[in-house]
Amino acid sequence: MPDLVDVKKLKMAEDLEFETPIPTQMISNGEFTPMPQTKQQKQVEERIKELADTHGKKQGLDRRRFLSSASGLAAGFVAMNEVFGPIFSVNDAEAADSDMAEERAKHLAGQFIFDDQTHMVHDGFDQEGLLGLGLFAAENWNPTLQEEELTLAYYKFDNYMRQIFVNSDTKIALLSGAPFDDPSWNFMSNDAIVDTVEMVNKLAGTRRMLGHHVITPGQPGWMEEVDKALENGARMDGWKAYTIGDPLSAKTEHPYRLDDEELMYPFFEKALKYGKVNFACHKGLMPADYETSWADKWQYNTVWDVAKAAKDWPDINFIIYHSGMRPFLEDPSAVLDEFEATGELKWASDLARIPAEHGVTNVYGELGTTFANSCVTHPRLAAAVLGTLIKGLGVDKIVWGTDSVFYGSPQWQIEALRRLEIPEDMQEKHGFAPLGDADGFVKNTIFGLNSARLFKVNLRADLDAMENDGIQKLKTDFALLDGIRDNVRYGYVSPT
């Protein structure tokens, strides 16, 4: 069973008194204890309040309605720039002028965004220690909420559809899963993933969703499950692996290496034979005390095994989730200070060096959680992550992922990348190239073009069809409703 967090000591992110358009403190999905709000994040929050009161009054909006608008989102990034420095492309005029903000939002709404990492839980999921609200929600939430809202519904299908496809500009989402030594903790079974993908695409009438098959190397019967998936391969689009084994428990019983020739190479051979060559692998995201708390297991979450496997299997695409970024839920200033002094981001820099050091072209970095946590805690760190990965892997090897719906709608993450720029001093010192415009070459490539190539999406034909499909109709219908918040973040935050 995964090591649990005492969620009763935490607050719910969606119950925060002040509903900011972008998170102003770290959010946990229940897998970890989040860091308390930093001094700088508190400054951002206070400045957002001031901007909301000033500009909202002029637009005839109360604070809540202003912050749910395009101008409110712009105000969030104005505040971030004032506290952290000019890292986001935004100006006060967007916050002050609702027409300007709305025009920008409409202009970018058609941008092709392929979210390479999304999650939901199955209808019967009831493990509150992992994701759930459960008893904590019933005891601590606003009692006026309807009873059915005091459940894990926030992480289930209906809300997933709303947050991913209605409340964001995401066009295609890849539904992923995770393995646990105790299968009762699994988010969704492989069969449930493909069933959900088929249901959504039938509703849409287009290819709006893709799905992973989660593998569990070393566990009894795992290759038999692979064989079944391959025999009916049209129902899955790629693989998902966790070399650490159970990602939540230091007592995990089945860690392994990608370059284990006896265990993994027969799998790669079969995957290649059937043309299922997109292989996503969770790496990184370990606590600061990983060397003691995870003892002899932590190395399996590094990228130590990626280079040889990629070189031995050049036709397999190794998509490294979280880009192997080790620092997780700790003081971002210390992580950034280390980067400024050494140019190193633990494990992510190791990943970025693999193409140059080993002559491979089939290694990719994915941004789920890594970007979300860094752009919220310290955007300069997010710039360092992107600069490092692009310089080492190449812009054509970076794929967009958000780990939503655990963090609510991915729109705030989308908007953060659209506006993010690598500071000039960082460009000069580390040889990083600028990111450019919100819909320029670099960001369009990361947001969707790379994943479209990997998963053989026909951009011209598929995007044209999406303009009038079932998902677009759903999105249009919701837009006609009034008072629907689309900046909710789900999960837990520190009480202090």
SS in 3 state form for 67-78?
Answer: HCCHHHHHHHHH
Please count the other Cβ atoms lying within 10 Å of the Cβ belonging to residue 357. 11
Residue among 21, 90, 98 nearest 57 (CA): 98
What is the phi-psi region of residue 359: left when phi exceeds 0, alpha when psi lies from -120 to 50, beta otherwise?
A: left
CA distance 317 to 280: 8
pTM, entire model: 0.88
Q: Which amino acid is at 358?
A: H
CA distance 356 to 106: 40
Q: Which amino acid is at 330?
A: E
Please count the other Cβ atoms lying within 10 Å of the Cβ belonging to residue 85. 12
CA distance 496 to 494: 5
Packed helices 370-377 and 379-393: angle between N→C axes, nearest 10 degrees: 140
Q: For residue 105, what is the DSSP state? A: H
Compute CA distances 195 → 175, 184, 404, whole Å: 11, 19, 19
CA distance 315 to 278: 9
Continuous segment of H or E residues that includes residue 95 = helix 92-96
> DSSP H helical segments within 172-325, as ranges?
190-204, 222-231, 265-273, 290-293, 306-312
> Is 177 within 8 Å of 187 (Cβ atoms)?
yes
Q: State the chain's maximal CA–CA distance in angstroms.
A: 67
CA distance 188 to 295: 29
138, two tokens: 């019933």
Which residues, listed in sequence order, are joined to residue 318 by a DSSP beta bridge?
Answer: 279, 363
CA distance 219 to 208: 32
Q: Which residues contact 299 (CB under 8 A, 6 or more apart)?
A: none
The alpha carbon dihedral of 475, 478, 479, 483 has a sign of: negative
Task: Please report the pLDDT score of residue 184 as a whole number.
Answer: 81
CA distance 197 to 157: 11
Class of residue 16 by CB neighbours under 10 A (exposed 0-12, middle 13-18, buried 19+): middle
CA distance 172 to 209: 6
Q: Which amino acid is at 495?
A: P
Task: Please report the pLDDT score of residue 61 as a whole number.
Answer: 85
Residue among 55, 59, 60, 51 nearest 24 (CA): 51
Residue among 176, 175, 186 nearest 219 (CA): 186
Q: Which residues contact 371 (CB under 8 A, 6 or more apart)?
A: 382, 385, 386, 402, 413, 416, 417
Task: Please report the pLDDT score of residue 150 as a whole number.
Answer: 41
Please count the other Cβ atoms lying within 10 Å of the Cβ belonging to residue 3. 13
CA distance 68 to 146: 23
> Is 213 within 8 Å of 236 (Cβ atoms)?
yes
* Helix, coil or strand: residue 145: coil
- Report the Cα 372 to chain-centroid distance in Å: 7
> Is 122 within 8 Å of 188 (Cβ atoms)?
yes
Residue 92 phi, psi (nearest 5): -65, -25
| Full pLDDT tens readout for the chain, 496 residues | 344 455 445 455 555 555 677 776 655 555 555 566 778 888 888 888 888 889 988 888 888 888 888 888 999 899 989 999 999 999 899 989 989 999 999 999 999 999 999 999 998 887 665 443 323 223 332 233 233 344 577 789 998 999 999 999 999 999 999 998 888 888 999 999 999 999 999 999 999 999 999 999 999 999 999 999 998 877 899 999 999 999 888 999 999 999 999 999 999 999 999 999 999 999 999 988 999 999 999 999 999 999 999 999 999 999 999 999 998 767 778 899 999 999 999 999 999 999 999 999 999 999 998 998 888 778 999 999 999 999 999 999 999 999 988 777 899 899 999 999 999 999 999 999 999 999 999 999 999 999 999 999 999 899 899 999 999 998 888 766 654 545 554 443 444 5
CA distance 202 to 222: 30
Q: For residue 447, what is the DSSP state? A: I
Residue among 388, 390, 394, 392 nearest 426 (CA): 388
The structural domains of the chain, ordered by start, are 7-110+482-493 (no CATH), 114-138+149-474 (3.20.20.140)
* Helix, coil or strand: residue 227: helix
